[in-house]
Amino acid sequence: MASEQEAESFDVLIIGCGMAGLAAGIRLATFDQKVLIVEKHNAPGGLNSFYFQRGRKFDVGLHAVTNFSSGRGRRTPLQKLLRQLRLPPESFALSPQNGSRIAFPGRDLRFANDISLLESEVAREFPGEVDGFRALRQAVLDFDALDLEKEGPGAREVVGRYIADPVLRDMLFCPLMYYGSSTEHDMPFTQFVTLWRAIFEEGFGRPLEGVRVVIRALLARYRELGGKRRMRCGVRRIVQDGRRVQAVELESGETVTARRIISTIGWPETLLLCGREETDEEIERCTGALSFAEGITVSDRQPAEMGCGETIIFYNDSERFAYEGAQNPIDLRSGVICFPNNYRYPDGGQLPEGLLRVTSIASYPYWTSLEEEAYRREKAAWFPRMQESALRFLPGMKAESLREATVHTDMFTPRTIRHFTSHLGGAVYGSPVKMRTGETFLDNLYLAGTDQGFLGIIGAMLSGVSMANRHVLSKLAGSG
Ligand SMILES: Cc1cc2nc3c(=O)[nH]c(=O)nc-3n(C[C@H](O)[C@H](O)[C@H](O)COP(=O)(O)OP(=O)(O)OC[C@H]3O[C@@H](n4cnc5c(N)ncnc54)[C@H](O)[C@@H]3O)c2cc1C
């Protein structure tokens, strides 16, 4: 370890410059904490970053910013978040979705940023279930998902009390699972509530320029407050002394000390940095089984010109919906289609090219076992299969028109996710075991972000803010 003289010291060191790390950093710097964010990669944003390819800008994964809520009410999570970050209400420049759909064999449920559409769709497709749907909704609205001490029962059990038809149950679970579940088949009711509100009650929005707008707003605020950030600066080891973190050793060999450490890199990933052998089993138990592949098609025509005006379509081709680790390289039975063009951008604004994103569950062991050449070959073979599978749920879009209009394609797999985010198992939603209070076995090490249990971009930022409040700011007076 470096000597005391060499080590620079901070009030709080944050590991990871994703949404949670940036939000925690802003919150702490607002209250004059001396903060350093260290990030392994050169780009900020973590799981939701962006990249350039052949002159085009792509979001890593952004389909939608959830919790849109069209600015209604100051008490929505998004408005609360922006207030905590002292950012103006319009900072993320979100435009509302056109409308989305859950598509199962012979059944469709449309929904938008106002739950009344979903309720009327349930009444149309499942007339006998609409009272149960309303009662379930009330149970969701009455539930305090922010109580960090409360685990709650399994969501399948609770939903089963209100909805008798298993197909409707699966249709409601499908978007919520795809946009946030780290567990197969079921999720804790607390997460179901969070996701229901984020997706069905508050809905989807997107900035015309994509996730860059969100990242830029966060970076500018953090800089303005004097927060420090070091990129390409991975943490190699968390050095401990009894029940405390003594220092953090960087990949360069340098050490940094801080009174408190907030890790946003995931729980099993943090355990690995702690390097304790007895935690091997815990790492295995906490490594998520769900990873994804996505195929991106760029076209010289807008999706609406090819017969698709919807924003997001969650599809499933079987009677029952199976949300589980993929047995095949890619599980083609279900997936998510997203058209980033299909938002109501201001002043008739629009993306210059058409974009179609198709996401499905994919096998991490398969995609990470391939040699380079086989990997490329398999990607080329699976891309059209994914697209073909998705087109079954887009009756307006003809495969031939899409082929003619295609000017570029790209695809990422679980291997890409692991490479760029360091998440074990390429697990987008992290560990199946969430650490809701953010506390760890070390007194001054806390967890924020995906593995604390708040999901998606907005959830990750809320997690960063609430962990900063709970474990640092609320203790300031007492700790001196
Ligand atoms: C393909 C894809 C599509 C998605 N689509 C959406 C969407 O449409 N809407 C939505 O709301 N959410 C979406 N998400 C989820 C959302 O991106 C995440 O929930 C959120 O960004 C998680 O943020 P985080 O800060 O908790 O973690 P992360 O983003 O994982 O940030 C952790 C950071 O830590 C860094 N790091 C890791 N190890 C180290 C180390 N040893 N030292 C230093 N730094 C380290 C990583 O590089 C990373 O930058 C998507 C995710 C993916 C992958």
Task: Tell me the per-residue pLDDT of 87-116, one tens digit each, with 9 for 90 and over.
Answer: 998 999 999 999 999 999 999 999 999 999
pLDDT in tens, 25-48: 999 999 999 999 999 999 999 888
Strand order across the beta sheet in which 100-104 lies: 107-111, 100-104, 312-316, 334-338, 354-362, 291-299, 406-412
pLDDT in tens, 2-16: 444 456 789 999 999
Same domain, 282 and 306: no
Please choose from 47, 97, 213 the residue to mutate so as to test ligand 1's pocket, defined by most ligand atoms within 8 A of CB.
Answer: 47
Same domain, 195 and 239: no
Same domain, 234 and 299: no
Q: CB under 8 Å to 353, separation ≥6 — which residues?
A: 56, 298, 299, 300, 407
Name the residue with the closest Cα to ligand 1, atom 48. Answer: 46
**What local confidence, expressed as pLDDT, does residue 60 receive?**
83
**What local confidence, expressed as pLDDT, does residue 70 receive?**
64
**What local confidence, expressed as pLDDT, does residue 5 receive?**
46
**What local confidence, expressed as pLDDT, does residue 4 receive?**
45
Phi-psi region of 278 (alpha: psi -120 to 50; beta: other; left: phi over 0): alpha
Would strands 445-447 and 205-207 be described as parallel, antiparallel, or unpaired? unpaired
Same domain, 189 and 257: no
Mean pLDDT of the chain: 93
Same domain, 301 and 411: yes
Please state the rounded mean pLDDT for residues 248-273: 96
Q: Per the structure block, which two tokens stand in for 377?
A: 């070959």
Assess whether pLDDT exceeds 70 at residue 72: no
Q: CA-CA distance, 315 to 393, in Å (whole number)? A: 7
**What local confidence, expressed as pLDDT, does residue 71 receive?**
53
pLDDT in tens, 338-378: 999 999 999 999 999 999 999 999 999 999 999 999 999 99
Query: How many percent of the chain have pLDDT more than 90?
Result: 82
Cα–ligand 1 centroid distance for 215 (angstroms): 12
Same domain, 409 and 436: no
Cα–ligand 1 centroid distance for 364 (angstroms): 17
Residue range(s) defining the domain that contains residue 57: 8-62+210-286+431-479
Q: Is residue 99 domain-resident?
A: no
Same domain, 40 and 18: yes
* Nearest atom in ligand 1 to 294's CA: 1
Cα–ligand 1 centroid distance for 318 (angstroms): 30
Assess whether pLDDT exceeds 80 at residue 279: no
Beta-bridged to residue 336, according to DSSP, are 314, 359
pLDDT in tens, 187-233: 999 999 999 999 999 999 999 999 999 999 999 999 999 999 999 99
Amino acid at 18: G
Q: Is residue 217 domain-resident?
A: yes
**What local confidence, expressed as pLDDT, does residue 474 receive?**
95
* Nearest atom in ligand 1 to 463's CA: 26
* Nearest atom in ligand 1 to 234's CA: 42
3-state SS record for the chain: CCCCCCCEEEEEEEECCEHHHHHHHHHHHHCCCCEEEECCCCCCEHHHCEEEECCEEEECCCCCECCCHHHCCCCCHHHHHHHHCCCCCCCCCEEEECCEEEEECCEEEEECCCHHHHHHHHHHHCHHHHHHHHHHHHHHHHCCCCCCCCCCCEHHHHHHHHCCCHHHHHHHHHHHHHCCCCCCCCCEHHHHHHHHHHHHHCCCEEECCCHHHHHHHHHHHHHHCCCEEECCCCEEEEEEECCEEEEEEECCCCEEEEEEEEECCCHHHHHHHHCCHHHHHHHHHCCCCCEEEEEEEEECCCHHHHCCCCCEEEEECCCCCCCCCCCCCECCCEEEEECCCCECCHHHCCCCCEEEEEEEEECHHHHHHCCHHHHHHHHHHHHHHHHHHHHCCCCCCCHHHHHHHEEEEEEECHHHHHHHHCCHHHCCCCCCCCCCCCECCCCCEEECCHHHCCCHHHHHHHHHHHHHHHHCHHHHHHHC
Listed residues 188, 203, 218: the one ending a domain: 203
Listed residues 145, 173, 203: the one ending a domain: 203
Pocket of ligand 1 (CB under 6 A): 15-21, 38-41, 46-48, 60-66, 234-235, 264-265, 269, 294, 417, 421-422, 428, 449-450, 455-457, 460
Q: CA-CA distance, 3 to 240, in Å (whole number)? A: 15
Q: Is residue 100 domain-resident?
A: no
Q: Per the structure block, which two tokens stand in for 164?
A: 């008798």
Please choose from 48, 92, 232, 359 the residue to mutate so as to test ligand 1's pocket, defined by most ligand atoms within 8 A of CB.
Answer: 48
Which of the given ranges, 51-65, 269-283, 289-303, has the highest pLDDT on average? 289-303
Please state the rounded mean pLDDT for residues 458-473: 96
Please state the rounded mean pLDDT for residues 107-127: 97
Listed residues 203, 225, 245: the one ending a domain: 203
Please choose from 265, 451, 461, 467 the residue to mutate so as to test ligand 1's pocket, defined by most ligand atoms within 8 A of CB.
Answer: 265
Cα–ligand 1 centroid distance for 300 (angstroms): 30
Cα–ligand 1 centroid distance for 46 (angstroms): 4
Q: Is residue 3 domain-resident?
A: no
Q: At 382, is the pLDDT very low, low, confident or very high (cuts 50, 70, 90)?
A: very high
CATH number, position 448:
3.50.50.60
Cα–ligand 1 centroid distance for 421 (angstroms): 7
Same domain, 276 and 228: yes
314/286: higher pLDDT = 314
Q: Is residue 331 domain-resident?
A: yes
Name the residue with the closest Cα to ligand 1, atom 15. Answer: 456
* Nearest atom in ligand 1 to 461's CA: 25
Q: At 74, is the pLDDT very low, low, confident or very high (cuts 50, 70, 90)?
A: low
Q: CA-CA distance, 468 to 473, in Å (whole number)? A: 6
Cα–ligand 1 centroid distance for 63 (angstroms): 14
Q: Is residue 69 domain-resident?
A: no
Q: At 1, is the pLDDT very low, low, confident or very high (cuts 50, 70, 90)?
A: very low
Assess whether pLDDT exceeds 70 at residue 325: yes
Same domain, 293 and 282: no
Cα–ligand 1 centroid distance for 404 (angstroms): 34
Cα–ligand 1 centroid distance for 59 (angstroms): 12
Query: How many percent of the chain have pLDDT more than 70?
Result: 96
Q: Is residue 250 domain-resident?
A: yes
Same domain, 406 and 321: yes
Q: Is residue 198 domain-resident?
A: yes
Same domain, 155 and 216: no
Count of the separate structural domains present in the chain: 3
pLDDT in tens, 422-460: 899 999 999 998 999 999 999 999 999 999 988 889 999
Cα–ligand 1 centroid distance for 118 (angstroms): 30
